[in-house]
Structure 1
Amino acid sequence: MSTKVRVGAVQSEPVWLNLEGSVDKTISLIKKSAKEGIQVLGFPEVWIPGYPWYVHRSGRLGSADLKYDLQGGGQADSLKCVVDSPFGKIGGLNCWEHRQPLLRFYEYSQGVQIHIASWPAEFEMPDPEKQSWLYHETGEASYRASQFMAIEGQTFVLVASQIMTEENLAKNNCVGNHVTRTMGKTLCEPVGVGEEAILKADIDLRDIDYAKTFIDTVGHYARPDLLSLLVNPLAAKHVTTMK
């Protein structure tokens, strides 16, 4: 097996909610990539037929039928997320799966060499005075999560994300949607290179609760039925006496 591999990550707009159109576009992108010598190609999350942003906009009752249809996935028999290929061991995670430490660790344990980080369309930060939103829901945060996986897992990471153009905001029920007008900020402004300073900020610990209502990696967003951490709290000994 050659160690030289040409990889590619798709950043494109789906043919929203159109199965046939999405499949046709997928085939065209694969053919285009093949002509350019790409051997491993990553696609965004729910690329066919587009990430259903309208679910978040419709509320619990408005999206109940769709959520019911999507129940029954993600069981233990599908947890293996790395496959062998002629181009190396390829793995992949979608969206917030990148924020589950044990799931990332499990993928590393499978020897992943090329990781596909698949994301929906995400958005930049507007003026925080106009709209409050969590930083972890910005494109920048998602990119950093993907980049950290490369550092942590010693793997190449392909970041694939969707695009949502202005004319398709209405189709996704996202016109005026606060999700598409996200905000987030660092705790303080950075200082110049080589400049001595004490960086300071005022924080409110209750803000943590707000963040955890969206994603709590050791709470409601964990999967203890699939993954758990085994810790030995005792000091190790060279000799253990059996009783």
Structure 2
Amino acid sequence: MTQSTVAAVQAEPVWLDADRTTDKTIRLIEEAADGGADLVAFPETWLPGYPVFLWSHPVYEQMPFVARYHANSVAVDGPQITRIREAARARGITVVLGFSEKSGGSLYMAQIVIGGDGEVLQHRRKLKPTHAERTLFGESDGSGLKVVDTPIGRVGALNCFEHIQPLSVYAMAAQDEQIHIAGWPCLGILGDVPALSPEALTAATKTYALIGSTYAIMATQIMSEEGALVFSAGEGLPCPVYTGGGGYARVYGPDSALLTEPLDPGHEGLVFAEIDLARIDLAKNTVDPAGHYARPDVTRLLLDGRPKQPVVRPGVAEGPLFPPLEDADAPAGAETQGERR
């Protein structure tokens, strides 16, 4: 399939509430499918919302938020992700989801690519959380810098400031990425910080599309005044960094052209774009940094994509991570065949 339709989410999660945000996720999946999308992309840590408290309160005031955030972060094989997989299968749509993943006592800024059959094609974690994020989330390894095949093209995903790490960008481009999901939180709510401005971060996504000659789907959260009150330290005031809005959903073409009409930054919605993978050939005909425009005799990238585990048990096989979804047509209690990925 060279032509398809993609959708980017610009919406507000139900802050710090995993189950209600899962309900909203499913509604947005259905809305995207009804709009003709073959793929829908969600923002960074959409489930249960970006931890804005990391940037808005001193550490000693964050503990109640940290506890609540842990309680509403989800396991990759937990009921919330299973429901979202079932929704993707029911509508036959590829879903790329950003979420806070809980594994034991640790949290990770994760993304998964769910195929239209409900199977998980890719599970990754943010390679290195940014600045204050490192007080809450763990790091990942090179196995997350991976592009996977889907019926609509080769899909990859990164979170937030991973898009300005040149070596990570190059690692993805070198894998013939065709459709890229850029997961972002609310943009611009931290006030007048140039490096964190909407202009800078949309430019980073646009540049990513240009460098990799890939379609870049930018999904972002928004924050309403009511949402900001969730992170209040008291007295009915919004969190100190709140400036409103934050939504900048976009789709850029492989030549960096903007393919969608921007929504109002404070409004929820989906933006849709029709894409044609043949346009990638034209873009790469001019510049292909990991192909004909490369100079491996001068500069090369070493990419270690092997998963790293803190505990290795020789001779003990690791169990499968993702259980197969139940067959919707099978009678209740019937066993299904399939393997976890």
TM-score normalised over the length of structure 1: 0.65
The residue aligned with 1:95 is 160
For 1:114 and 1:28, the matched residues in 2 are separated by: 23
Aligned CA distance change for structure 1 residues 81 and 89 (closer, same or farther; 3 Å): same
CA deviation vs aligned residue, 1:46-74 (integer Å, no higher than 9, x gap): 00010010122233344476697325441
The residue aligned with 2:240 is 177
* Offset of residue 122 of structure 1: 1.3
Which of 106, 110, 127 in structure 2 is aligned with 1:69?
106
1:141 matches 2:197: no
For 2:51 and 2:144, the matched residues in 1 are separated by: 23
Asked if 2 retains the 8 angstrom alpha-carbon contact of 1:122 and 1:180, the reply is no
Q: Which amino acid aligns with 2:155?
A: I
For 2:176 and 2:153, the matched residues in 1 are separated by: 10
TM-score normalised over the length of structure 2: 0.47
Gaps of at least 5 residues in structure 2 are 71-104, 108-136, 245-295, 300-341
Q: Which amino acid aligns with 1:91?
A: G
* Offset of residue 5 of structure 1: 1.0
For 1:142 and 1:55, the matched residues in 2 are separated by: 19
The residue aligned with 1:212 is none
- Which structure features the higher share of helix residues? 1
Which is greater in Rg?
1
Gaps of at least 5 residues in structure 1 are 127-132, 182-229, 234-243
1:40 matches 2:39: yes
- Which structure features the higher share of strand residues? 2
How many residue pairs are counted as aligned between the two chains? 177
Q: Percent identity?
A: 36
Aligned CA distance change for structure 1 residues 72 and 51 (closer, same or farther; 3 Å): closer
Please say which of residues 59-68 and 88-97 is displaced more in the overlay: 59-68
CA RMSD of aligned residues (A): 2.6
Give 3-state SS (helix, strand or coil) of 1:123's partner.
Answer: coil
* Offset of residue 176 of structure 1: 5.8
* Offset of residue 138 of structure 1: 1.1
For 1:28 and 1:125, the matched residues in 2 are separated by: 29
Q: Which amino acid aligns with 1:177?
A: P
CA deviation vs aligned residue, 1:134-176 (integer Å, no higher than 9, x gap): 2111112111100011111100011100010111111123826
Task: Map 1:1-243; keep pairs closer than 5 Å.
Answer: 2-63=1-62, 69-70=106-107, 71-76=137-142, 78-123=143-188, 133-173=192-232, 175=238, 177-178=240-241, 180=243
**Deviation >2 Å, runs of 4+:** 58-73, 78-81, 172-181, 230-233
For 2:189 and 2:17, the matched residues in 1 are separated by: 26
Aligned CA distance change for structure 1 residues 104 and 168 (closer, same or farther; 3 Å): same
